[in-house]
């Protein structure tokens, strides 16, 4: 009996030990820890871009189309993209319909001006001829009156006086008619000059339209490979509408210097600056590695197709010159934002939010504690910790099952004061920048309104049509410059533990 009790007690004890060991082992296996590391740290933004030549010669349609009131024209025919052309080779043919209408109107205006000028010449000739006849008649009358005066010497004084008065009246009439004739000649000459000027202007308009129409057949300005230009994000093609304000049909790129045009989202654009180093790969040639440098960053964002947020254009110049590079090749760009030496960093999965603070669940002896941290720069996988943990500290990579009773270790007060000062400075910079942007925006809007008001109704309608076509087509206090980044980077990983 006693032996059976001992056996039963031993079995119960064994089962209890097994449950404790195995159950504890399962619990430990669910708790994955990561160790804080120390060393160099890189922040990289990865984007997709497209190659283009930095310098190129534009192949343009008629440059003076607006001068003849032609504001848009369609591409009727264009050679295939990638065609190698020589100077003077045919590139494209543009629709002349609207220009031909202007030509017909101009020809009619010239004909009317010529007719008016010729008629005015005839009228002037007749008018002056009649005036000259009047002068000649008056001159004869003066001679007759003079003879009458001479013959009246044998008459009575009254008859002599009448003859003298008639002679003087005729002389005055002749003098007045001569003055009127001079005035009439000047008036007719002025009228003819005005009509001749109108005729010359109409003829010049006709010549300008003819010259513009000649430019509707587009030829290569020099040797090179034809690359279609983009309008509203898409390349031109047969049937595309070209604006007279920017009549670029295609380009002849200079392959000696290439660049990648890429777009960075509005979240990351503040990190991108000119002169940053870029590692570049080519989808078409995976084994080829290139380097480049950021040359420009757009100040104004734009809404791209297939993108819910605004993006900013970034230009990256390729350092290498390679004959295999071609425009429109897809590039993968790794923009080196920041390189740090000897910093402590942890995986993003170890950072959580607790009551508005960035924390980690750090191993402390046999248990855990909530440790407040000051975050710095981050990349796709890790984040720098400026204060709160040291190299070798171990942290959970997932939320503990039971957080009740965990102690909280805040950052030292001097560190918190430093964070507050940095946040205040950042806030003031942001307010100043926003005010500056608002002032610039007001000025740009005023200028656009003035330009629009100065346009003719036809120009306004054309501009509206072009726009329609294009449209179809922190740690208690967040830590320094990296707090916001960590919050966004952890959007899918972090767990809000407020109120735990």
Count CB-CB contacts under 10 A for residue 130.
Answer: 11
Q: Do the Cβ atoms of 242 and 75 come closer than 8 Å? A: yes
CB 295 within 8 A of CB 262: no
Return d(Cα 72, Cα 247) in angstroms, integer: 9
Query: Cα–Cα distance between 25 and 18 in angstroms, integer?
Result: 10
Residue carrying the six token digits 């004061």: 417
Per-residue pLDDT for the chain (500 aa), expressed as one digit of tens each? Answer: 455 545 555 555 555 444 444 444 444 446 889 999 999 999 999 999 999 888 889 999 888 888 888 888 889 999 999 899 999 999 999 888 888 888 888 889 999 988 988 888 888 888 888 888 888 888 888 888 888 888 888 888 888 888 888 888 888 888 888 888 888 888 888 888 888 899 998 888 888 888 888 888 999 999 989 988 887 668 888 888 888 888 999 999 988 899 999 999 998 999 999 999 999 999 999 999 999 999 999 999 888 776 778 899 999 999 998 888 888 899 999 999 999 999 999 999 999 999 889 999 999 888 899 999 999 998 889 999 999 999 999 999 998 888 888 899 999 999 899 988 988 988 888 888 888 877 776 666 666 666 766 777 777 776 666 655 554 444 444 433 333 333 333 433 333 444 33
Q: How far apart are CA 366 and CA 392, in angstroms?
A: 16
Residue 29: predicted pLDDT: 46
Tell the burial category of 83 from Cβ atoms under 10 Å away from its Cβ (0-12, 13-18, 19+).
Answer: middle
Pairing of strands 407-409, 367-372: parallel
| CA–CA distance, 169 with 151 (Å, rounded to integer) | 18
According to DSSP, the β-strands at 407-409 and 357-364 are unpaired
The predicted model scores a pTM of 0.55
| Planar angle of CA 76, 71, 102, nearest 5 degrees | 85
Q: What is the pLDDT of residue 500?
A: 38
Domain ranges of the chain: 99-214
3-state secondary structure of 324: coil
The per-residue pLDDT for 433 is 82
Go through the chain and tell me how many residues it has. Answer: 500
Residue with tokens 């007690």: 9
């Amino acid at each position: 009996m006693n032996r059976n009790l001992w056996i039963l007690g031993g079995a119960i004890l064994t089962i209890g030990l097994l449950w404790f060991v195995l159950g504890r082992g399962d619990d430990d296996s669910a708790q994955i820890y990561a160790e804080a590391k120390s060393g160099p740290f890189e922040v990289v933004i990865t984007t997709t871009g497209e190659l283009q030549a930095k310098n190129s010669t534009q192949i343009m349609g008629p440059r003076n189309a607006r001068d003849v009131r032609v504001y848009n024209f369609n591409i009727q025919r264009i050679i295939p993209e990638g065609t190698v052309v020589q100077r003077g080779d045919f590139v494209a043919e543009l629709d002349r319909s609207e220009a031909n209408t202007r030509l017909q109107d101009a020809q009619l205006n010239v004909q009317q001006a010529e007719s008016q000028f010729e008629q005015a010449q005839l009228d002037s000739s007749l008018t002056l001829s009649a005036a000259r006849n009047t002068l000649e008649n008056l001159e004869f009358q003066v001679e007759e009156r003079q003879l009458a005066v001479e013959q009246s010497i044998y008459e009575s004084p009254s008859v002599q006086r009448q003859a003298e008065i008639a002679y003087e009246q005729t002389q005055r009439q002749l003098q007045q008619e001569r003055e009127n004739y001079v005035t009439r000649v000047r008036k007719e000459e002025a009228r003819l000059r005005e009509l001749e000027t109108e005729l010359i202007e109409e003829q010049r308009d006709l010549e300008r339209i003819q010259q513009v129409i000649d430019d509707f057949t587009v030829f290569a300005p020099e040797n090179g490979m034809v690359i279609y230009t983009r309008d509203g994000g898409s390349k031109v093609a047969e049937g595309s509408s070209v604006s007279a304000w920017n009549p670029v049909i295609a380009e002849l790129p200079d392959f000696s210097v290439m660049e990648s045009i890429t777009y960075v989202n509005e979240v990351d654009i503040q990190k991108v600056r000119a002169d940053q180093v870029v590692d570049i790969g080519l989808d078409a040639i995976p084994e080829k590695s290139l380097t480049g440098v950021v040359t420009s960053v757009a100040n104004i964002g734009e809404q791209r197709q297939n993108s819910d947020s605004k993006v900013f254009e970034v230009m990256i110049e390729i350092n290498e010159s390679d004959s295999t590079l071609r425009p429109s090749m897809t590039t993968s760009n790794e923009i080196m934002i920041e390189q740090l030496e000897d910093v402590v960093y942890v995986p993003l999965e170890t950072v959580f939010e607790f009551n508005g603070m960035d924390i980690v669940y750090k191993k402390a002896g046999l248990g855990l504690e909530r440790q407040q941290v000051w975050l710095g720069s981050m990349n796709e996988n890790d984040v720098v910790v400026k204060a709160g943990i040291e190299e070798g500290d171990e942290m959970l990579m997932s939320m503990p099952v039971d957080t009740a009773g965990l102690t909280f270790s805040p950052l030292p007060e001097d560190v918190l004061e430093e964070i507050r000062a940095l946040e205040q400075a950042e806030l003031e910079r942001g307010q100043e920048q926003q005010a500056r942007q608002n002032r610039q925006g007001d000025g740009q809007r005023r200028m656009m309104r003035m330009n629009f008001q100065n346009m003719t109704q036809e120009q306004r309608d054309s501009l509206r049509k072009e726009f329609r076509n294009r449209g179809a087509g922190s740690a208690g206090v967040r830590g320094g410059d990296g707090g916001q980044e960590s919050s966004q980077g952890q959007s899918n990983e972090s767990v809000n533990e407020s109120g735990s």
